[in-house]
Amino acid sequence: MELFAWLNAQLLRMDWLAALVRLLLEEGLGLDTASRVGASVHFFIYDVIKIFILLGGLIFGISWVQSYFPPERTRRILGGLRGVRANLMGALLGTLTPFCSCSSIPLFIGFTSSGLPLGVTFAFLISSPLVDLASVILLASIFNWSIALAYVLLGIVLAVLGGSLIGRARMERHVEAFVMHNKVLDLPDSQLSRRDRLQFSWEQVCEVFGRVWLYVLIGVGIGAAIHNWIPQEVVLALLGEDRWWSVPLATLVGVPMYADIFGTLPIAEALVAKGVGLGTALAFMMAVTALSLPSLIMLKKVVKGPLLALFFTIVVVGIMLIGVLFNRFAYLLI
């Protein structure tokens, strides 16, 4: 147990990196990291470096695994399943795709045009931006493994239930016609050499970095500001656990924004450090990543109003319920 705690502290939380950054700031620049400015600079540098180190290694490894599951193979695997089992597989597949909500939509189109049931494709669409292996590791590095695993479990449950409800609603007629007739091009897995897989994994790392780096910097910057400059009384007055509106407010505030989970995690970390309920912080994070306004606009081009409204309602209600559950039972995970 002590060995696991040490590995978690050094490999995930990277305590050595925090100590190194503190040493460089204090000894190299003469900056007091106990002051507001020093603490903000330390928070920013440490979190940015930690997130990018974890992100690079995780995306490369996940992409290597993904190279063995091109769309046609995925369709064959999922095509023989029905009902909850199929939706569960779609949700689990989403955990292997390190994509934001906007990037998940092209895959959603591909899976739908391949003939997969609508419930399966929506289970994937919900879980892909919400729960992926990289975010799990980052959650564990910021909070702990109990919280990370509970988040994954509830995220997958939301994806499966959401997909099942949409599948039972039989709303295929509300999918735009071009999606059903979209051609899917695929490269057989057998044609990929080790060099191809390395290149694919590296390209995925570069693509994800290119997409998220700005949001990571903005997110960490906001987190540093909340952590060191905004008075705790102000934060608690708006989002304190004793405020019944904290979870709904955090969810609705998060919807218009657009960022990857990697950019919102530092904000959630700073909010929790200020005394905001864990569920409230996670509800904000989930709303930003799963229901961003740009992704809803893109999805509107793919599905019609009634289906979009059903998807939005299911995910919003699900996120709020998850937030309330985390606030109520967080003490069991800490």
* SS3 letters across 292-303: CHHHHHHHHCCE
What are the beta bridge partners of residue 276?
240
How far, in Å, are 33, 225, 229 from residue 40 at the CA level? 8, 7, 8
Q: With CA atoms as reference, report the closest residue to 58 among 138, 145, 125.
A: 138
Which range of residues forms the domain containing residue 235?
1-181+193-332
Q: Give the chain's end-to-end CA distance (angstroms, integer).
A: 16
The verdict on residue 188 lying in a domain is no
pLDDT band at residue 185 using 50, 70 and 90 as cut-offs: very low
The pLDDT of residue 113 is 67
Q: Which one-letter DSSP state was computed for residue 276? A: B
The verdict on residue 186 lying in a domain is no
CA 304 to chain centre: 25
The verdict on residue 187 lying in a domain is no
How far, in Å, are 21, 35, 97, 109, 110 from residue 188 at the CA level? 46, 57, 19, 19, 16
Of the two residues 71 and 30, the one the predictor is more confident about is: 30
Q: Give residue-wise pLDDT tens across range 78-103.
A: 666 667 777 887 777 767 665 555 55
Q: Which one-letter DSSP state was computed for residue 244? A: T
Amino acid type, 203: E
Q: How many CB atoms lie within 10 A of CB 88?
A: 20
Q: What is the largest CA-CA distance in the chain?
A: 65
* Residue 56, helix vs strand vs coil: helix
Q: Give residue-wise pLDDT tens across range 144-162.
A: 888 888 888 888 999 899 9
Q: With CA atoms as reference, report the closest residue to 159 among 102, 195, 119.
A: 119
Query: pTM for the complete prediction?
Result: 0.71
Domain count, the chain: 1
